[in-house]
Structure 1
């Protein structure tokens, strides 16, 4: 049985009650690349930071960076880190990444970029191949950080 409130979750298990501390204040942060988007680029809830799906956009946010998967991956991970910092965290706080790829053949190049951004103690990661990503991007990345 799971009892959920806006700021806390309590799971009742056979051995007793397992409580996850209240998340506290929820703050949202717009992405500088997509300031008019109908969603937040990142959300901080207590000591958790959630960074929404990010593709490899140029600094004006209007089109993808040129250069294919490697350039798009670098731009996406740079922006993920920017959003984590905006919300009060740092790169080493990133605990989980989900990576969407539009082609399985992009996996080795994405993996190389990922390794360059997280050379020691990398966050856990899920990689999913999907039929399409907005703007025909090769990659989309979302991450969760724990402060």
Structure 2
């Protein structure tokens, strides 16, 4: 963790304190074991990372003589979906979870919002979501949660129809918010998706 070392954070002192052999059992899904794994919140200078906080999973599988294994985030970028128009990523992956930025019906080639109807925009948005998920090693079947933003309550039928098409079985959790206007002209719909990465 170069940024932490750069600013002199006592990582070993943190490890020595919180990775003692008497700490509680770490959940198996994190690959932990008693006294050998821990969560550490490293304070990072804002100039080094977009966020001043960075969560890291530190695992010490055998002994304190072994090196630390740090799981860092992975940035996802694909030409099959519209590129961001601001300083952000299409999606990031950390610890097997895909965190997607807001996705709309922007055309992957022109980056412009396309479609005059809510039905068209929802369909194009789902295609963009699918492309980003596949680039991240995930799929529509692995979607955990979808946050939807609609311009009108009258657009619910189109949204529900899309969920029946793309999530026919065991649909993800969903939240829907009404917004008076979007940041881009002509936009009627936007989603934020969280999904799990496919298991190898």
Query: Cα distance, 1:35 vs. partner?
Result: 5.1
- Equivalent pairs counted in the alignment come to 133
Matched, 1:71 2:120: yes
* CA distance in 2 between partners of 1:125 and 1:23 (Å): 32
Q: Which shifted more, 81-90 or 40-49?
A: 81-90
Matched, 1:51 2:104: no
Provide the aligned C-alpha RMSD in A: 2.2
Matched, 1:106 2:155: yes
Q: Determine which structure has more spread, i.e. the larger CA radius of gyration.
A: 2
- What residue in structure 2 maps to residue 28 of structure 1? 75
Instruction: Indicate the structure whose relative CO is greater, using CA pairs within 8 Å and at least 6 residues apart.
Output: 1
Normalised to the residue count of structure 2, the TM-score between the two structures is 0.60
Query: Cα distance, 1:45 vs. partner?
Result: 0.6
Normalised to the residue count of structure 1, the TM-score between the two structures is 0.80
- What residue in structure 1 maps to residue 50 of structure 2? none
Q: Structure 1: which 4+ aligned runs deviate by more than 6 Å?
A: none
Alignment deviations for residues 1-20 of structure 1 (CA, whole Å, 9 cap, x no partner)? xx9712259xxxxxxxxxxx
Where structure 2 has 5 or more consecutive residues not aligned to the other structure, the ranges are 1-38, 42-53, 58-68
Structure holding more strand per residue: 1
